[in-house]
DNA sequence: TAAGTATATAATTATGTGCTTATATATACA
DNA sequence: TGTATATATAAGCACATAATTATATACTTA
């Protein structure tokens, strides 16, 4: 695939967002899956507002999309984003994070699959 | 080429470094060229200590290498770095920055070519 | 060796970022 | 409609980061 060019300033904005452990892991997780906020809270063992704020930043640049299903809001990577081809090669070099979701399934706290 | 995996925490460290306009532009510039500190100072229109500190951070993780030639120290991307295959796809998506070096050549302040 | 140029380092300041606490909004269900 | 659950937002604080200023070090050349 021919890569599209991205301006330096846009690139630094995106890279700044990826330069955070929580957000980068999130993106890797939801590149091929879907997660809701409370799952992230459990996975990252942090507060709900903190997770919401990270997701907000990713949403603001269009990297993730949300879909409400009842009381839950499910997040996934927006592969229609103009930046998707920029971040995909990065995500592909990261180790799989699915063990984190497996742990939720074992504890019975996984929601997204329903 | 089969990509090597990089741990999430290492990746965020590297991405944090790339998430800065000066450093990202620097890396793109010296991926295939060589520049010395005073050239960066002129290109980025900033102070010499600021440039040195950016280079220091890149050097600390092994992303760049330095070579002294007389009074000048020339910097270039260290393509032997374990992280090179991680950052290369990122740099490749950035627009060419060679116009900045051309401007130095036109002004007669380009050093590295000698 | 003295003066000039190039670069590095240290200390300080200014700004940015992430997390917490508190509160608001939205949905579900009894 | 009232309560519980899920999520978002706002304000404040703590910490991190980038730039500046001042100074030190290294090399060059007269």
- Per residue in B75-106, pLDDT tens? 999 999 999 999 999 999 999 999 999 999 99
Q: Quick check: is B13 in a domain?
A: yes
Instruction: Report how far residue B98's alpha carbon sits from residue B101's, in angstroms, rounded to the nearest whole number.
Output: 5
3-state secondary structure chain A: CCCCCCCHHHHHHHHHHHCCHHHHHHHHHCCCCCEEHHHHHHHHCCCHHHHHHHHHHHHHCCCEEEEEECCEEEEEECCCCCCHHHHHHHHHCCCCCHHHHHHHHHHCCCCCCC
Instruction: Report how far residue A84's alpha carbon sits from residue A64's, in angstroms, rounded to the nearest whole number.
Output: 10
Q: Quick check: is A47 in a domain?
A: yes
Global pTM reads 0.94
| CATH number of residue B47's parent domain | 1.10.10.10
In A, minimum Cα distance to B12 occurs at: A19
Closest alpha carbon to C1' of C22, residue: A49
pLDDT digits (tens, 9 = 90+) for A46-61: 999 999 999 999 999 9
Where on strand C do bases come within 7 A of a protein Cβ?
4-11, 17-22, 26-28
Q: Quick check: is B88 in a domain?
A: yes
Token pair 């906020």: residue: A37
The token duo for B3 is: 């990509």
Q: Quick check: is B30 in a domain?
A: yes
| Mean per-residue pLDDT over chain B, rounded | 94
pLDDT digits (tens, 9 = 90+) for B41-87: 999 999 999 999 999 999 999 999 999 999 999 999 999 999 999 99
B70 beta carbon < 7 A from strand D?
yes
Q: Is the pLDDT of residue A98 over 60?
A: yes
Token pair 């590149």: residue: A31
The average pLDDT across A84-96 equals 97
The token duo for A53 is: 């704020």
The number of folded domains in chain B is: 1
Q: Quick check: is B54 in a domain?
A: yes
Q: How confident is the model at residue A111 (pLDDT cuts 50, 70, 90)?
A: confident
Specify the 3-state DSSP secondary structure of B87: helix
Q: Quick check: is A99 in a domain?
A: yes
pLDDT for residue B101: 93
Contact at CB, B18 and A12, closer than 8 angstroms = yes
Q: Quick check: is A100 in a domain?
A: yes
Domain limits for position A93: 9-104
Q: Is the pLDDT of residue A112 over 70?
A: no
Q: Quick check: is A2 in a domain?
A: no
């Amino acid at each position: 695939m021919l890569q599209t060019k991205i301006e330096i300033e846009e690139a630094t904005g995106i890279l700044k967002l990826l330069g955070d452990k929580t957000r980068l892991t999130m993106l890797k997780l939801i590149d091929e899956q879907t997660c809701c906020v409370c799952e992230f809270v459990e996975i990252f063992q942090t507060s709900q507002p903190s997770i919401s704020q990270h997701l907000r930043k990713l949403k603001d640049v269009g990297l993730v999309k949300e879909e409400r299903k009842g009381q839950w809001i499910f997040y996934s990577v927006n592969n229609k984003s103009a930046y998707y081809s920029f971040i995909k090669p990065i995500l592909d070099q990261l180790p799989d994070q699915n063990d984190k979701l497996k742990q939720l399934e074992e504890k019975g706290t996984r929601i997204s699959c329903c």
